[in-house]
């Protein structure tokens, strides 16, 4: 009985941590949108990646893992490719945030779990029932409502956001594959190192000396990214992914608030409708996964 209560308490704490992580992620996106009007993406991302790599090195040292062993991967090519995908998709989203409302970008990005579901069968060999496939199709109807192709309001940066969602889904698939072979510390260090190396080559070409206030914002993005990732990792330790993932959609709610407060932006009706459809479809996917993890019969 006590063990059951402890597990429930852990799950509630995991949900609380993931909710806090969504606030950090929405804050990160809002600050990134501000910086996107001042700097080119490589400069913004270089500072973030340096802080991320520093945090990874600190975590490795704290866990008493030698750096020599921390960089030893059973699948180095997979780790490098995964890091390149994350670096590229981060640049894609910086450009999207610069040219679209926060809520628009995050609503389209929310389709990533649906894309993961679609890709996980051919790549990971995971099986899905008719309910999940139906939810994926319905979710993409929501994406089309936001994109509105053929209605004279199509913005190419909407398509860029969709490309970012596909890349984000691909990154999650690659992370699952990497997790089968390497420890979390290895994956984290490869992310930071590959990103820093790539951006160090590109960023000097577009570098502009930041003011003291701008330095503060640039550093803040790195700190927020580290905190968000830490909270997500801790949440996944305390509760199953299928139980906490639906709360990731709170990021959209915070994005609407930040967009209104900071940029005087409010999403229009079709964007809200499309976002609601995407989120509802995603919640169904995660709910069916949760039922499967609990050992029940999956209808979807």
Domain ranges of the chain: 2-293
Query: How much is the pLDDT for 290?
Result: 60
Residue the block writes with tokens 């914002």: 217
Q: Which residues of the chain have pLDDT under 70?
A: 1-5, 63-68, 121-129, 149-154, 241-243, 287-300
Which segments of the chain does DSSP mark as H helices, in order?
Answer: 2-36, 41-62, 67-70, 76-99, 102-109, 112-124, 130-147, 156-179, 184-202, 212-238, 241-244, 250-263, 269-293
Query: How much is the pLDDT for 300?
Result: 46
Query: How much is the pLDDT for 297?
Result: 42
DSSP state, residue 206: T
Q: Are 110 and 249 within 8 A, CB to CB?
A: yes
Helix 130-147, helix 102-109: angle, nearest 10 = 160
- The Cα 241–Cα 53 span in angstroms is 25
Nearest of 238, 226, 219 to residue 191 by alpha carbon: 226
pLDDT tens-digit series, residues 264-300: 988 888 888 988 888 888 777 776 666 665 554 444 4
Mean pLDDT of the chain: 83
Nearest of 75, 131, 167 to residue 287 by alpha carbon: 131
Share of the chain above pLDDT 90, in %: 37
Query: How much is the pLDDT for 207?
Result: 95
Note the pTM of the prediction, 2 decimals.
0.83
Query: How much is the pLDDT for 3?
Result: 55
Positive/negative CA dihedral, 188, 126, 15, 167? positive
- The Cα 26–Cα 225 span in angstroms is 10
């Amino acid at each position: 009985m006590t063990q059951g209560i402890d597990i429930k308490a852990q799950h509630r704490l995991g949900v609380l941590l993931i909710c806090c992580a969504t606030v950090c992620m929405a804050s990160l996106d809002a600050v990134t949108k501000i910086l996107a009007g001042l700097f080119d993406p490589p400069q913004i991302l270089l500072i973030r990646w340096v802080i991320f790599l520093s945090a990874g090195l600190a975590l490795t040292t704290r866990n008493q893992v030698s750096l020599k062993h921390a960089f030893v991967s059973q699948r180095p090519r997979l780790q490098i490719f995964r890091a390149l995908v994350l670096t590229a998709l981060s640049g894609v989203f910086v450009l999207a945030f610069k040219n679209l409302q926060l809520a628009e970008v995050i609503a389209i990005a929310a389709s990533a779990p649906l894309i993961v579901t679609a890709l996980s069968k051919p790549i990971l060999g995971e099986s899905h029932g008719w309910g999940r496939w139906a939810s994926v199709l319905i979710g993409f109807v929501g994406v089309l409502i936001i994109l509105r192709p053929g209605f004279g309001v199509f913005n190419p940066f909407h398509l860029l956001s969709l490309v970012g969602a596909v890349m984000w889904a691909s990154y999650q698939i690659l992370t699952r594959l990497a997790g089968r072979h390497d420890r979390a510390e290895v994956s984290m260090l490869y992310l930071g190192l590959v990103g820093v190396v790539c951006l160090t080559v590109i960023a000097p070409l577009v570098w502009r000396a930041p003011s003291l206030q701008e330095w503060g914002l640039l550093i803040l993005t790195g700190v927020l990214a580290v905190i968000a990732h830490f909270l997500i990792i801790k949440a996944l330790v305390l509760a199953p992914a299928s139980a906490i993932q639906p709360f990731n959609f709170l990021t959209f709610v915070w994005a609407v608030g930040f967009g209104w407060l900071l940029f005087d932006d409010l999403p229009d009706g079709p964007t809200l409708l499309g976002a609601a459809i995407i989120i509802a479809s995603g919640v169904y996917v995660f709910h069916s996964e949760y039922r499967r993890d609990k050992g029940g019969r999956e209808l979807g």
